[in-house]
Amino acid sequence: MKIGFIGLGNMGAPMAANLAAAGHEVLGFDVAGTQAHGVAQAASGTDAAQVADIVITMLPNGAILRAVAQDILPAMHKGATLVDCSTVDVESARAVAADAEAAGLMAVDAPVSGGIGGAAAGTLTFMAGGTEEAFATALPLFEIMGQKAVHCGDAGAGQAAKICNNMVLGATMIATCEAFALADKLGLNRQKMFDVVSTSSGYSWSMNAYCPAPGIGPQSPADNDYQPGFAAELMLKDLGLSQQAAEAVDADTPMGQMAHKLYQQFVENEDGKGRDFSAMLPRFLERGRS
């Protein structure tokens, strides 16, 4: 299959490399000039798109996605498929899908979960929105780049699933970090707390798989001085998208709103930028009750 891949950043480059390693002909482009192993370099996004059966994008936000789509959709041949793996607002995903359909193309919004490690290992989870036909076309590539792909519904449903998932994740990570900080101040051994919480009603992915306390549970960014597996500013972005969506549909999300406020303070006013989102633990340890 001929694949155009636009956006070869920390996530896109290993995803594109995995497709090339599986035997696909991948032509990649990134505005920063970055490259991926086994991926031929295109002169522009349009060049990458015009010969492709499937074009995959991995971009920073909805505005950039719309601008890139405006450039590449006219260059794609009829019947080709656009697969956007960025995390963007639902409305941008739906607008791009409508433009693709009007141009005689198929489109899938398929944001991912699993971080940089999952992209490199080919173990991402894809949350996809679009028609059944478009999803079926993209599925063989999802199976190379990831371990699971869920068709969530029509255009925009993949983005909706992603922002709901990450709203849960942001809130549970904050609660997990708060609990460790409280346990420390109560004199409770961290390992004992983990042994109890991880096997009882406090069980969560934040506690069990991505523990924010160094030396506790499976290895996580906490064991590497909170070097990001998933950066705090990316969590802030996703929580912002969740609150934008909640406002648009008049949904009451007070926990999501508070998580967004706390990560905004952490990233913009404290030392959170460039650190993993689980670095909320040392943040809480340094603070008293306000």
The structure tokens 């905004």 sit at 264
Strand partners, 109: 84, 129
The 10 Å Cβ neighbour count of residue 197 is 19
Beta carbons of 141 and 83 less than 8 angstroms apart: yes
Residues whose CB falls within 8 Å of the CB of residue 218, separated by 6 or more in sequence, listed in order: 208, 209, 210, 211
Beta carbons of 99 and 82 less than 8 angstroms apart: no
Query: Is-catalytic flag, 261?
Result: no
Beta carbons of 145 and 124 less than 8 angstroms apart: yes
Nearest by Cα to 267 from 237, 221, 232: 232
Residues whose CB falls within 8 Å of the CB of residue 93, separated by 6 or more in sequence, listed in order: 62, 65, 84, 109, 129, 155, 156, 158, 159
**Which residue in the list 78, 148, 162, 192 is annotated as catalytic?**
162
Alpha helix (H) ranges present in the chain?
12-21, 45-50, 62-72, 90-102, 115-121, 132-145, 157-186, 190-197, 205-208, 232-248, 254-269, 280-285
Separation CA 243–CA 246 (nearest Å): 5
Q: Is 64 exposed, middle or buried (0-12, 13-18, 19+ CB in 10 A)?
A: middle
Give me the active site residues, please: 162
